[in-house]
Amino acid sequence: MSTPALDIALVHHPVVNRDGEAIASAVTNLDLHDIARAAKTYGVVRYYVVTPLEDQQKLAQKIVGHWTQGRGGRVNPDRKEALELIRVVDSVEQAIDRIEKRCGRPPKTIATCAAGRPYSIGYSRLRAMLDKGTPCLLLFGTAWGLSNAFIEGVDCVLDPVRGRTPYNHLSVRSAVSIVLDRLVGERDI
Amino acid sequence: MSTPALDIALVHHPVVNRDGEAIASAVTNLDLHDIARAAKTYGVVRYYVVTPLEDQQKLAQKIVGHWTQGRGGRVNPDRKEALELIRVVDSVEQAIDRIEKRCGRPPKTIATCAAGRPYSIGYSRLRAMLDKGTPCLLLFGTAWGLSNAFIEGVDCVLDPVRGRTPYNHLSVRSAVSIVLDRLVGERDI
């Protein structure tokens, strides 16, 4: 199977806290690992970790370095392969610039959020975009999600993941895994 | 939508380590949280945390108690709702006994594993069992997965989750999320 021109970004700013205020959230070790492993499984090109905070960038680089150049990767080469997808960047714009350099055109930016929007698009529509070879950058918010102001600036918003219940509090690690499976996983299962 | 008679278990024994030796693995905080949140989203009845180690049972109970009876749940009621699904048990047999008491018959036991088996069943077949109201207990291994001896004793093995690549090293948190979405999530997306 060919792999689509799909990149993902885990956004630590601009996101909101429990009260809806704009914040920059902290990088966590397991977000790097779990999401890199899912990205590698589904053929994602790059996994951008977005934070403007220098200390958080250093922390993320240190973790990634341990697994890609340090002892971690020698002990666990599978983990090395996954974490090699990670690029730490200042902003979503920086991720877009890098993808544009690689693809020759800017990616469509697609925001995810747990709450539905009237204008959000379905998974089949985004699958069709990927099948046509359109570069896509899928954006996931940490903390209480991407800020409204940010979401208003993207190209599309993807339908939220819904289970069989009204409960919509998946971890971002679960949400990334499910969305990737819906977009690029096996369909006839 | 009606919710199926689906229970899940996160098994810390009998699982294997990197060298294929049978071990009991350690309970981790994020396995409790992420998997409980996914279970709540998809209408899972109970999330059994299986460990025969008393100190690990106490640790799991302490974490669950903080969120279901303690301060955690008062600050974050959504998290309380999810962690209330957790039951800490000694063994898979104990989980089966409890489900049998609730349902009047023992559940079908379904093992998951990252490596395929010639006799594993597809997601549509398991969805059909759930749609008929068959109680099912879905088993996930921690560490390097459920032991072969254990897998030989279950009713069925579910096809592994495959992405677009040969890489098959998802975290158990991702695997649970994807499998639940494939079994009980929206189908026409």
The ipTM is: 0.96
Nearest to A78 among B41, B169, B173 (CB): B169
Could you tell me the CA-to-CA distances from B102 to A109, B39, B45, B96, B148 in Å, in that order?
47, 18, 11, 10, 29
Query: Which is nearest to B155 in space by CA: B131, B121, B128?
Result: B121
Strands A47-50 and A86-89 turn out to be parallel
CB–CB of A37 and B122 under 8 A? Answer: no
Query: Residues 6 or more apart from A69 whose CB is under 8 A from it?
Result: none
Task: Give tens-digit pLDDT for A63-74.
Answer: 999 999 999 999
- Given a contact cutoff of 8 angstroms between Cβ atoms, the answer to whether B43 and A165 are in contact is yes
Q: Which amino acid is at B2?
A: S
Q: How many CB atoms lie within 10 A of CB A59?
A: 18
Handedness of CA A109, A173, B185, A189 (dihedral sign): positive
- Residues of chain B whose beta carbon is less than 8 angstroms from a beta carbon of chain A are 1, 3-4, 30, 33-34, 37-38, 40-43, 78-79, 81-82, 122-124, 159, 161-165, 167-171, 173-178, 180-182, 184-186, 189
pLDDT in the model for residue B144: 95
Q: How many CB atoms lie within 10 A of CB B76?
A: 15
Query: Which is nearest to B150 in space by CA: B104, B122, B113, B98?
Result: B113
CA A31 to chain CA centroid, nearest Å: 10
Q: What percent of chain B has pLDDT above 70?
A: 98
CB–CB of A38 and B123 under 8 A? Answer: no
* Global pTM value: 0.97
- Given a contact cutoff of 8 angstroms between Cβ atoms, the answer to whether A172 and A34 are in contact is no
Task: Give tens-digit pLDDT for A71-114.
Answer: 999 999 999 999 999 999 999 999 999 999 999 999 999 999 99
Q: Which of chain A's residues have a Cβ under 8 Å away from the Cβ of B164?
A: 1, 3-4, 42-43, 184-185
Query: Residues 6 or more apart from A23 whose CB is under 8 A from it?
Result: A13, A15, A16, A17, A143
Q: Which amino acid is at A175?
A: A
Strands B6-11 and B136-141 turn out to be parallel
Q: What percent of chain A has pLDDT above 90?
A: 92
pLDDT in the model for residue A186: 85
Whole-angstrom distance, CA of residue B167 vs CA of residue B164: 8
Q: Which amino acid is at B122?
A: G
Task: Give tens-digit pLDDT for B100-114.
Answer: 999 999 999 999 999
Q: Is residue A1 scored above 60 in pLDDT?
A: no
Q: Is residue A37 scored above 80 in pLDDT?
A: yes
- Given a contact cutoff of 8 angstroms between Cβ atoms, the answer to whether B91 and B52 are in contact is yes
Nearest to B37 among A122, A169, A181 (CB): A169
Q: In Å, how far is B94's CA from the nearest CA of chain A?
A: 27
